[in-house]
Amino acid sequence: MAYDNEKIIKVAENVDRLITMDLKPSPIHELYKAAREYHGKSPTLLAAEKLVERVSPGDSVLLITGALISPFGTGETDGPIGTAGLARILCLHMNARPIILTMPSMVAMVRSTARAAGLNCIEPQQIVEVEDYMRGFVGISSFPIDDGEAIRNSKDLMETFNPKAVISVEVTGSNRLGIYHAYGRDYSRYMFKASRLFEEAKRRNILTIGVGDRGNEIGFGAPKLHEAARKAHPFGEKCRCPCGEGAADVTKVDVTVVAMVSNWGAYGVEAIISALLNNRDAMHDGTLESRMLHASSMEGAVDGRNQTPDYLVDSLPEMIHVGLVEMMRAVLVAAKIESGASGGHEPFGKGKY
């Protein structure tokens, strides 16, 4: 796709400044520096470019989200909202077929969040039946907690849907010993084994993208990134469980997007895709952001820091996230990205609606 490279780079730089604002004690600058040096350019821009290059109308994309904060299946508000935003732009503005996977206990919450994003939720098996004239369909399903089932399910998903990309947003990855941590403790018995999905995707040379904010999420497996994650995360080098290997992730992906809040990283990719499509309206607005946050909270998602359903994400209030989304839209306006343009992709598919 031909585009104004200078304009897109400027958009990406402004977006990266927004998503890496340190609004609370955080290792974001160290992690972002490592990711930027590793990729040799803005990771957010790289992720958006690769998605636009690889994903064509009708293609499937697997997205996975769900950060567990208790043994009782409770999930964070960080992750599902960003995932819904990405699914929205992939579905409505690139005419792709997104499938969102999550923890078994979080399916209802993720479904509600996706619906708040303006998407119609169906079973993944039904996604292959979606025709060009049908708009806004996303598959929603769980991913296994059992390791063996996760390995088998990963292969089945690749063979059934032939995805062109696999994306994680705020998903805990395994450490060097295959252990999944929360708060420095071994939560392996409670968490889905999402790293298996990315291992299978890598074996098949499918594009993989990991979005994280602390270093324990999927995407920090490359040596440079893993070293930064071990130093950045409070339990990166040494955890509270007997393994003693720390909670830093070892899952390798093609692109690691780092942000102050993982949702923000997903929004950053969404904003740059909007610029690449030359359609600023492809980026969701503050009203939709608020609606998604309320929907996820009402279906059981909680703030990852306070562990309460208070319409917070990583302890930051709703108005911060709404404001950030509107700032991204302002960046697109300032760059003279058009309103309502298709940018080369037909949002309604090839048929008549």
Q: CATH number of the domain that 162 lies in?
A: 3.90.1640.20
Asked if residue 348 is part of any domain, the answer here is no
**Is the per-residue pLDDT at 346 higher than 50?**
no
Asked if residue 229 is part of any domain, the answer here is yes
Mean pLDDT on 114-139: 95
Closest to 269 (Cα-Cα) out of 69, 94, 30: 94
**Is the per-residue pLDDT at 351 higher than 90?**
no
**Is the per-residue pLDDT at 73 higher than 60?**
yes
Asked if residue 312 is part of any domain, the answer here is no
Please state the domain count of the chain.
Answer: 1
- The residue segments making up the domain with residue 298 are 5-307+319-334
DSSP 338: P
Helix extents (H) in the chain: 5-19, 28-39, 43-54, 80-92, 107-116, 147-161, 195-203, 223-232, 262-276, 286-298, 318-334
DSSP 222: S
* Torsion from C-alpha of 337, 98, 195, 289, nearest 10 degrees: 50
Mean pLDDT on 88-108: 98
Mean pLDDT on 96-105: 98
Asked if residue 52 is part of any domain, the answer here is yes
Structure tokens at 162: 């032939």
Structure tokens at 258: 């780092």
What are the residues whose beta carbons fall under 8 Å from the beta carbon of 105, sequence distance 6 or more?
A: 72, 73, 74, 75
- pLDDT for the residue 342: 45
> What is the band of 4 on the pLDDT scale with cuts at 50, 70, 90?
confident
Question: Under a CB-based contact definition with an 8 Å cutoff, are residues 168 and 64 in contact?
Answer: yes
> What is the band of 349 on the pLDDT scale with cuts at 50, 70, 90?
very low
What percent of the chain has a predicted confidence (pLDDT) above 70? 96
Asked if residue 344 is part of any domain, the answer here is no
- What's the pTM value of the predicted model, to 2 decimals? 0.95
- pLDDT for the residue 24: 83
**Is the per-residue pLDDT at 348 higher than 50?**
no
Q: DSSP 3-state assignment of 220?
A: coil
List beta partners, residue 100: 63, 140
Asked if residue 343 is part of any domain, the answer here is no
Q: DSSP 3-state assignment of 263?
A: helix
Asked if residue 350 is part of any domain, the answer here is no
Structure tokens at 191: 């968490």
Closest to 4 (Cα-Cα) out of 271, 266, 337: 337
Phi-psi domain of 165 (left: phi exceeds 0; alpha: psi -120 through 50; beta: other) = beta
Say how many Å lie between the first and final Cα of the chain, rounded.
25
In tens, the pLDDT along 40-58 reads 999 999 999 999 999 999 9
Asked if residue 351 is part of any domain, the answer here is no
* Torsion from C-alpha of 317, 279, 161, 173, nearest 10 degrees: -30
